[in-house]
Amino acid sequence: MSEGDREVRIAAADLPPPGRIAMVEIGRHRIGVMRLGEEIHALADRCPHRGGPLCSSGQIVTSIERRPDGTLDLGPEGALIRCPWHKWDFDIATGTCPVDGHMRVRTYAVRRDGHGVVVSLDRTPGGV
Ligand code: FES
């Protein structure tokens, strides 16, 4: 990893496998980097509920969703991160909480750089 004032580069070999989280820092920002399918996303290590260590101590989980007919099914595999403090879940791709649209984790911009990625403090949402 290489770091600058506003961004950090992560080599392909250092990117986390599905279900794992790589922690990076840009200045005072602690950021969790995670893979969702072929995409890489970056979220703040701070839960919007009460400030828990969402990424450094959280867990990537799969949601259980209710179908229109009332039966249950699994959602996209590993698409949520669960806070260790009060177990709220957040969507890795958007930072939103599925049960409370007002709760949102800060997301960081991610762009491809060769085989690796660059995470920056830009507020541009979404991963790559
Ligand atoms: S601090 Fe994360 S769910 Fe409460």
List, for residues 70-103, the tens digit of each pLDDT value: 999 998 899 999 999 999 999 999 999 999 989 9
The predicted model scores a pTM of: 0.90
Which is nearest to 89 in space by CA: 115, 66, 62?
62
CA of 56 to the centre of ligand 1 (A): 13
Residue 7: pLDDT over 80: yes
How high is the pLDDT of residue 128? 73
Mean pLDDT of 24-50: 96
What mean pLDDT, rounded, does the chain reach?
92
Which is nearest to 49 in space by CA: 21, 93, 90, 79?
90
Q: Which CATH architecture has domain 2-62+71-120?
A: 3-layer Sandwich (2.102)
Residue 2: pLDDT over 60: no
CA of 40 to the centre of ligand 1 (A): 23
